[in-house]
Structure 1
């Protein structure tokens, strides 16, 4: 019965080791998070008893002066100090409130810092999706702040290192290698290359370990241990915390290589390594579980149980959401995540509304431009028509005046024709009936003083119908001088008989001249010659 009980105990202990191991194995990754004195409020060497006093004074001053920038720095520092003291009750709440205020005042650098702190908290509590989201946001805003000249290259470098830890956690080796290349370049810029190689070699070791290249992985990890041990005292004090991670990683690989003695040796070193910033607390649960597995395989059951109990206490105290102490801040974390989602939704709604208003304003401007453009066009058209009407009125007036003068010319010409006919009759009568010597000088005087009737007519016609002959010849280029005379007389509505007398030709010649004009002008039979000439 005693043997059966011991076997049952051993079986249950082994099962518990496996379950606990599976639950926290993925926690084992190196860290280099910002501490509470990295935010400008607490100095490095400040006595721990004074930190809370200083923080409370800063908070009070920020609220009295309504200084949101100072309040945000207080909230982020308070959260980081909570990590240091392992008091996580208000860490998520403080970091979440810092993010809200940062977004409210639209300070790029503070938004980056708040996302970074939320990412660290999510990473520590194995909330991988939230950690990745916040680390990516922090990196994005740090890069923007760097371009704005409000943050240093070191801030950007550390944001890339956070992404490296996240991608190491989720085993995205391709992305991990790319980020490490970027980190190398930035570390050289700030003269931190040697220090960052200690941390990046641990990440390279994880890639080699996943590929079962244990020898290479061990070489990288032991090289990092050696580099830390050879640091100057001041630098060693800051980086010695990382030995906890390095020793544990080495022990874990030796355990995989079935070398329990070396595994045990390095697990003991890891548990005894200093942890000034309390960053390795959660890792100690993993280390104790791994150590318990070694002890169990060596049949040191009591010692294995003690290590498992220590691991279980850490899990229950910090990682178990059913624990009353954890329920508060885990609920706050979810609450703030919901509020962030709600705020982002509200911002998106506002952006859509703004875009809609902008589009409506643009449409109104376009419509106003179209109305103005159409109004200008209509105005120009109306103005053109008014000018055209005025011009047409002037032309009509001028044409009416020309028509009147042409009628006067026609009348006076006809009167001249009548007078010339009388003078010719009188001259012929004297010639035929008065053979005296005194009649000859009289007849000669009449002939000398008589001006050509056509020349007198043509002078007045040209002065009254300016450009008529030119327009006519432009339209019908092959007209003769005789044709032009006929056209002028047709324009003034002279009869054939009046034309024959004025031109000194027979009536038949006038008819022939009119017929010849129609042919030159290529007029169809249904087109009136007089109307065509008057239209020119």
Structure 2
């Protein structure tokens, strides 16, 4: 009963302690792996700045938002930021930094097991290696993109990069095959991809001396650049190529017009990518890296403090648990000692009662023996009276019989009072016992032999033996079982 009460309380203790144990452990889980809309919006603005040539603005936006993405464990945002940083560093010729940042993003994407972002990072690296002339490495990254892609077809942006690599490597046949697959899908792509693809197709046509087609595609790309105000870095190349084509066709005025515009755009691009801007970009990059390192150090210190607080909290919680267990153990030992003491008291009381019962039964047996002896004496006197006065004997014999019967009834009542549960237990074992057989059992319990029982009950010894046999049968005793020992144990 004691353990049942304790066990009933244990689930309640667990329900109280378990949430406390996990309270701090779970406090930051909700923010992991999720990108807030505000961070994604800033990344989108930085991307717009990148596409429209506002590189410093793009860099500043990304630099400002990266610490927040790291602090909030926004892995998706970190991947996108590192990829954009890679593109920006590539624009300024910082190829080592460009590849480092892109690979950081790829590592995070792989850890997150995010297939879509992993493919995006692999494609960005393939594009950067293509820009710096490492075409075979670029092709390897593109192959990795295809291995991870779940689509049944090759996406257009991967095809276009394959085509551009083969174009730069002089494998015009392979480049043509890829571009022929891409062109029918061109209207389904965004303007940024359209410009890049159309410009590459134009370069391919120029390389294989299809000047009219080259002119068409160069002008088509330039038209999109002017209307959408995108890809300022490509525009000078488009204008310069068109100037040369028109010059070869003898249209010098048109050639001069495009050449002048190309020079103006080149000057603008030079200002963006000039040495001063490059140095400024390097300083900004170094400054941002220093800030990021400091913030990372602060973050690590905060994590260390948080870990100490967690350890302290769990230590206190452990002490509380041990205290609760100690209290439970104390009360368990106390109750066990109390129950043992009660058991000893009950055992002592039981033995005491048994001793009292045995004493009273002995007194009953002595009284019965005295009655038997008294009856012997009276019977002798009655025999003497019978010889001398028969009438007197008849009167005294009747009186003696009545008195003797009353004495033995009183004896039976006293036995029942002392052994109050004896008859109940007997009847539970053998419900078929008669009142006379119950009296026999009572005398057997008081250790009377057959002769004494016959005298007390006023029957022959043979009748006593027959009664004992019937009792043995009703109690289902075997021949070797002792009736006296069996009844004494009840």
TM-score by length of 1: 0.52
| Match in the other structure for 1:251 | 202
Aligned-partner SS, 1:125: helix
1:124 lines up with 2:91 in the alignment: no
Secondary structure, counterpart of 1:451 in structure 2: helix
Partner of 2:442: 488
Identify the match of residue 174 of structure 1 among 146, 153, 165.
Answer: 146
Q: Does 1:328 align with 2:300?
A: no
Q: Would you say 1:414 and 2:369 are equivalent positions?
A: yes
393, 412, 416: which one pairs with 1:462? 416
TM-fit CA distance, 1:447 = 3.3
Aligned counterpart in structure 2 of residue 214 of structure 1, from 176, 182, 186: 176
Whole-Å separation in 1 of the counterparts to 2:48 and 2:160: 31
Q: Contact 1:131/1:166 (CA < 8 Å) preserved in 2?
A: yes
Cα distance in 2 for residues equivalent to 1:425 and 1:91: 139
Q: Which runs of 5+ in 1 are unaligned?
A: 1-68, 144-156, 182-199, 229-238, 296-303
Kept after mapping to 2: 8 A contact 1:317/1:325 = no
- Distance of aligned partners of 1:334 and 1:164 in 2 relative to their CA distance in 1, 3 Å threshold: same
Question: 1:52-108 CA deviation, whole Å, 9 max, x = no partner?
Answer: xxxxxxxxxxxxxxxxx999899879966874785655754552332323554x496
Q: Go from structure 1 to structure 2 and tell me whether the alpha carbon gap of 1:164 and 1:347 turns closer, same or farther (over 3 Å shift).
A: farther
Alignment of 1:387-398 (within 5 A): 388-389=343-344, 391-392=346-347, 395-396=350-351, 398=353
Residue 396 (structure 2) pairs with residue 424 (structure 1) = no
Most deviating of 442-451 and 163-172: 163-172
Name which of structure 1's ranges 316-325 and 435-444 shifts more when overlaid on structure 2.
316-325
Within a 5 Å distance, the mapping from 1:156-195 to structure 2 comes to 166=124, 169=127, 170-171=141-142, 172-174=144-146, 178=150
The Cα of 1:430 is off from its aligned counterpart by 0.9
Q: Secondary structure at the match of 2:405?
A: coil
**CA RMSD of the aligned region, Å?**
6.3
Cα distance in 1 between the residues matched to 2:271 and 2:106:
27
Asked if 2 retains the 8 angstrom alpha-carbon contact of 1:116 and 1:134, the reply is yes
Q: How does 1:342-381 map to 2 (within 5 A)?
A: 378=333, 381=336
**What does residue range 428-467 of structure 1 map to in structure 2 within 5 Å?**
428-432=383-387, 434-435=388-389, 437-451=391-405, 455-467=409-421
User: Which residue of structure 2 lines up, in the alignment, with residue 57 of structure 1?
Assistant: none
Q: CA deviation at 1:131?
A: 3.9
After superposition, give the CA deviation of every residue in 1:475-518 in whole Å (9 maximum; x if it has no partner).
79999988865653353345777556435578999999999979
Q: How does 1:275-286 map to 2 (within 5 A)?
A: 280-283=231-234
Distance 1:89 1:438, change over 3 A: closer
Partner of 1:60: none
Note the alpha carbon deviations across 1:175-206, whole angstroms, 9 max, x for none: 7865899xxxxxxxxxxxxxxxxxx8566544
Equivalence for 1:187: none
Distance 2:439 2:204 in 1: 125
Q: Is the 8 A contact 1:500 1:510 kept in 2?
A: yes
**Contact 1:476–1:520 (CA under 8 A) maintained in structure 2:** no
Cα separation, 2, equivalents of 1:408 and 1:520 = 29
Q: CA deviation at 1:451?
A: 1.0
Matches within 5 A, 1:48-59: none
Contact 1:218 1:253 in 2 (8 A): no
CA distance in 1, matches of 2:50, 2:294: 23
CA contact (8 A) 2:225 2:235 kept: no
Unaligned runs of 5+ in 2: 1-35, 91-97, 128-140, 167-173, 247-258
Instruction: Give distance in 2, aligned partners of 1:288 and 1:332.
Output: 37
SS in 2 for 1:466: coil
Alpha-carbon distance, 1:431 to partner? 1.3
Structure 1 range deviating more: 439-448 or 417-426: 439-448
Q: Is the 8 Å Cα contact of residues 361 and 446 (structure 2) preserved in structure 1?
A: yes
Q: How far is 1:420 from its partner?
A: 1.8
Distance 2:411 2:274 in 1: 125
* Partner Cα separation in structure 2 for residue 472 and residue 202 of structure 1: 100
